[in-house]
Amino acid sequence: MKIGVAKEIKNHEYRVGLSPASAKELISYGHEVSITTGAAAGIGLNDDDYTTVGVQIADSNEAIFAESEMVVKVKEPQPDECRQLSEGQLLFTYLHLAPDPRQTDLLLESGVTAVAYETVTGPNNSLPLLAPMSEVAGRLAAQAGAHCLERAQGGIGVLMGGVPGTEPAQVLVIGGGVVGANAAYIARGMGANVTILDRSIPTLRKLDMEFHGKANCVYSTKEAIEKYAMRSDLVIGAVLLPGASAPKLISRELISKMKTGSVVVDVAIDQGGCLETSKPTTHENPTFVVDGVVHYCVANMPGAVPQTSTYALNNATLPFTLSMANQGWRKAMQQDQHLLNGLNVHEGKLCYKAVAEAQNREYTDPATQLS
């Protein structure tokens, strides 16, 4: 199979769909791999690092889209990229379609078969291709929040861990999944007082044990969210409904009641955000202020640490990339329900139910597309 890796064009996105090691693995099975020149510069690699393992260098992304049977990316294709996709082509990347009807339209029009990293499943309802970036984003959320709390960034001017004789920052993490647990881990490590809200009692028990009782693990209700948000210096939104739009758990009214100079980091922004006041921002202009509250809503947070993120992502995606390249996507999905759950779009049909419901579109059962 001809596999192409396009250079990411989203603002300050430096991650790479395939590392040299991943490309070498694919080539060892007889596949042809191409990458856009300079695509890996952001992780400290040059074209020679790829050619030495047998990768071909393409002069442009246009060449990658025109010649590849499978296109491997990191972030969702931008409109110009969507228009270069075609029927019979396979796209493997993050999509986050639920809050993005324009991208959905373009992918449906293209006829491409699009498999989303974030909806591929694993045992026990896990999301193995989302998890590594959730770990990165969660840890970055605490870092970014700490930075935004600085007075020069518009924050209240509180140090996460305080110093002897002063109080540490009060941090609220809404959602105790992979993002939330990692955000709490870093925030607690910085010395902050941390409260985690979740609606799963087993998750709260697990987190209580992991933090040895040093994080406040509370059942999430509207009352609890309001109570802890109003007293917090930093709020991290870490909720997830797989493949669907994020629920709006913090209202504009609640934002207006929070401390002036407090900070909210909405990690759920890729799925539309969990605050009514959220809107996507970039690494170039990461924050905005609403009612005195600093909002950090960068939609590709792991892109800030592309070296860590690229290798962590490749570790998770390579087995699935290999499976589809070696067997073809249909046979691979016939043998793997977890991979089938990643099928979002196929030849003009929308095959992921949560996206169809979010956008009020017709849904096609992905299993019917395997014959």
Which residues are known to be catalytic?
96, 270
Torsion of CA 310, 312, 316, 318, to 10 degrees: 40
Q: Quick one: CA dihedral 324, 359, 284, 58, positive or negative?
A: positive
User: Can you list the pairs that 43-50 forms with residues at least 24 positions away whose Cβ atoms lie under 8 Å?
Assistant: 43/14, 43/15, 43/16, 43/306, 43/307, 43/310, 44/307, 45/16, 45/20, 49/20, 50/20, 50/23
CB contact at 8 A, 116 and 352: yes
DSSP state of 297: -
Distances (CA, A) of 330 to 10, 12, 93, 362, 368: 30, 34, 17, 22, 11
DSSP state of 232: -
